[in-house]
Structure 1
Amino acid sequence: MRAVTWQGPKQISVEDVPDPIIKEPTDAIIKVTTTGLCGSDLHLYEPLSPFMTPGDIVGHEPMGIVQEVGAEVTDLRPGDRVVIPFNVSCGTCWMCAQGLQSQCETTQNKEHGTGASLLGYSKLYGQVDGGQAEYLRVPFAGYGAIKVPEGPPDDRFVFLSDVLPTAWQAVEYAGVGPGESLLVLGAGPIGDMAARIALHRGVQVIVADRLPERLARVAARGADTINVDEAHKELAERVRSMTGGRGADAVIDAVGMEAHGSPLVEMTQKVVGMLPDAIAQPFMKHASVDRMAALSTAFEAVRRGGTVSIAGVYGGAVDPIPMMQLFDKQVELRMGQANVRRWSDDILALLRQDEDVLGVESFATHHLPLDAAPRAYADFRAKADGMVKVLFQP
């Protein structure tokens, strides 16, 4: 089969690789019909390269048609249309029972001190083959695979794999309701979708980003917008002026460690990525730092007693956190990988409605063949050609 593979820092290629096979009785094999390119895939593109191996199959946002099931998979059968969550969770351990599927005790990666395994996401998270491929082996398929109805296009459901539950959890963790205010930092796929979910719930939403075309997308859905480059250091003050002088009731950081405004840290990440893995891996795990500009803005812009919900991915071990400011403002922090199956039934009920209330069918900006992946990764990283969300059709 054809699959998108990591070959080195900034080196993505589409290769012929062996077809997946059933390895465990709880596995299934699906033929992938649509698979997404995620912002966190860019972390593998360069910052997390010390934990990658040439030939790793990447991608964690797939859906498709079941081809084969293992002996213990009783509620799936060939021909079923399914979406596959990005986190690999068993559904039976204590963590899964608490709705913390991203911390699944069966697939935790204790060697690296990390949570549940993730599709296509490095040695840190299990080195499981990813979903940017023609076929995919799905572990714990009876629990993880989300059956979706026939009829609507793939775009209606594929975002159940990551974008929707990640954005949904970010809004849930923000804890805001009708009439309250929410600042979303970043209008990429997660920030955009979080804004749509919050607007659907009657929340006042303000979105800050650097790219006018991304701000135009969320403004068309009803959000207020701030261009970060125009606001400069006055962004938090702009937010206070739009929220009765207090600041936003909650802030979602949908940017993470790819934030602009930290050139020294960005250079450090690049240098570490060029070191031998034996040196780079412990540095990344115990001494690395992130680009903290977005998170610092969140702490400034949230009101006293408010909440900061972190959906953007961070990977540093010694990031400087302004504890005095957080304590003084009595800020609540919530964060973590999305627990997809915790939210998927509620989201699917919304997607099954006749009306496309979140605009998922027009959410993707680019539909590309799998062979276009190398160029798509480069363009997505450069934010070229108005690219916000890419879907591949293998």
Structure 2
Amino acid sequence: MKAVVFHGIGDIRLDNVPEPRLERPDDAIVRLTSSAICGTDLHMVRGTLSDMQPGTILGHEGVGVVEEIGAHVRNLRKGERVVIPSTIGCGYCSYCRAGYYAQCDHANPNGPLAGTAFFGGPKGSGPFQGLQAEYARIPYAQVGPVILPDSISDNQAILLSDIFPTGYFGAKLAAVKGGDVVAVFGCGPVGQFTIASCKLLNAGRIFAIDKVPSRLEMAQRQGAEVINFNDEDPVAVLRDMTGGIGPECVIDAVGIDAEVASGGPAHEHGKGREAMLAKELQEIAPHMHPVDGNWHPGSGPSQALHWAVESVAKAGRVAIIGVYPPADRFFPIGLAMNKNLRLTMGNCNHRAYLPELIQLVRTGAIDPSAVLTQQRELVGALDAYKAFDKRTDGWMKVGLKLAS
């Protein structure tokens, strides 16, 4: 079968690889009809998560049709159409039972303290072969895949695999409630669903911070008040627009690939931090570097975090859903402590939110497919990766069509 395979930093290829087979009685084999490219995939290609193993199939977002099931999978049948949660949980440990699927004690073969197990990730996450392929082995299939109603299209369903649940998780982490003023740093795909989720939770005002015009335009169409950090200092604007108080909730939907401002007031405001950011970049991801004009890491690894802590109101809430590697140890803890902030963060427990979100899509309360701005066949995946990596304007979310 064909699959997008990691060979090294800056080196991914469309290879022919063996089709997966059942390995355990709780496995299923799914013929994938749709996958997608996520910003997290770029962390692997850029070297941010540096323990990627050559030969790993990339991708953690998938929709498909069940082809084969193991003897312990009693809730699925061949031919059923399913969405696959990006993170993997066993369903029976105390964490899964409490809804913390990302902290499952059994899914990660490296042990219960190894961290979240997910498809197409580095050695520390399993590793499990990913979903940018024609077929995939799905472990713990009696728990993970969720059957889709016919009324939900692949274009809608693929966004339920990861980024819609992650945005919703971010809004829940921030404890957004009716009337709250919320600031969302990062208007990429996850940021867009964070904005949408804050609206679902009846936030009073939502500010959206980014520098890419098409991302800011999409956020504005959702009703967010937008701030371009290349033109304005976002901290100063947030304070000015909230009577000097700041938002109650701030959500970091950027992670380590944040960028510093390239000019204007925000650049001047951040000049004193340039040396620190350069040191962070060197220490956190020494292997990250552009390859052949592609695979660009961010220039400000903790920039969004600093802006979040600076801008949030006293006794406010900061939620972090952007990806940071285990080696990252830079955080403005002193300022956060002295402002009495509440900090929440983590990997999304996708499976916990899927039934609720599927119902919202089924009833027409939200149509997630608006975020899917680009679609490519699997054979065009490599060019799509390159355009997505360069943060090309208009490339919000890239879907990969695998089969009908």
What TM-score does the superposition give when structure 1 sets the normalisation length? Answer: 0.91
Q: Aligned partners of 1:317 and 1:93: how far apart in 2?
A: 28
Q: Aligned partners of 2:81 and 2:24: how far apart in 1?
A: 21
Task: State how many pairs are aligned.
Answer: 376
Q: Aligned partners of 1:270 and 1:325: how far apart in 2?
A: 25
RMSD: 1.8
2:115 counterpart of 1:115: yes
1:1-394 matches, cutoff 5 A: 1-48=1-48, 50-108=50-108, 110=110, 113-203=113-203, 204-231=205-232, 234-261=233-260, 262-267=277-282, 271-272=286-287, 291-317=301-327, 319-353=329-363, 355=364, 357-394=365-402
How far off is 1:317 after superposition? 2.8
Aligned amino acid, residue 331 of structure 2: I
Q: Aligned partners of 2:158 and 2:287: how far apart in 1?
A: 35
Structure 2 match to 1:280? none
Aligned amino acid, residue 308 of structure 1: V
Q: 1:50 is paired with a residue of what secondary structure?
A: coil
Q: 1:143 is paired with a residue of what secondary structure?
A: coil
CA contact (8 A) 1:200 1:358 kept: no
How far off is 1:265 after superposition? 3.5
CA contact (8 A) 2:65 2:78 kept: yes
- Matched residues, percent identical? 34
Aligned amino acid, residue 236 of structure 1: V
Q: 1:207 is paired with a residue of what secondary structure?
A: strand
Q: Aligned partners of 2:49 and 2:181: how far apart in 1?
A: 38
Q: 1:225 is paired with a residue of what secondary structure?
A: strand
How far off is 1:88 after superposition? 1.1
How far off is 1:245 after superposition? 2.0
Please, which runs of 5 or more residues in structure 2 have no aligned partner?
A: 261-276, 290-298
Please, which runs of 5 or more residues in structure 1 have no aligned partner?
A: 275-288
Q: Aligned partners of 1:230 and 1:214: how far apart in 2?
A: 15
Aligned amino acid, residue 307 of structure 2: T
How far off is 1:371 after superposition? 1.4
Structure 2 match to 1:278? none
Aligned amino acid, residue 241 of structure 2: M
Structure 1 match to 2:264? none
Q: 2:249 is paired with a residue of what secondary structure?
A: strand
After TM superposition, the runs of 4+ consecutive aligned structure 1 residues lying more than 4 A away are 109-113, 267-270
Q: Aligned partners of 1:137 and 1:244: how far apart in 2?
A: 53
Q: 1:236 is paired with a residue of what secondary structure?
A: helix
Counterparts in 2 of 1:329 and 1:109: CA distance versus 1, 3 Å: farther
Q: Aligned partners of 2:70 and 2:5: how far apart in 1?
A: 26
What TM-score does the superposition give when structure 2 sets the normalisation length? Answer: 0.89
Q: Aligned partners of 1:75 and 1:188: how far apart in 2?
A: 35
Q: 1:164 is paired with a residue of what secondary structure?
A: helix
Counterparts in 2 of 1:40 and 1:112: CA distance versus 1, 3 Å: farther
User: Quick check: 57-66 or 289-298, which moved more?
Assistant: 289-298
Q: 1:165 is paired with a residue of what secondary structure?
A: helix
Q: 2:26 is paired with a residue of what secondary structure?
A: coil
Counterparts in 2 of 1:263 and 1:299: CA distance versus 1, 3 Å: same
Structure 2 match to 1:283? none
Q: Aligned partners of 2:335 and 2:283: how far apart in 1?
A: 26
Q: Aligned partners of 2:176 and 2:374: how far apart in 1?
A: 32
CA contact (8 A) 1:112 1:124 kept: no
| Cα distance per residue 1:332-356 (max 9 Å; x no partner) | 1101000112211211111110x2x
| Cα distance per residue 1:135-184 (max 9 Å; x no partner) | 01000111111111113321122212111111111000111212111100
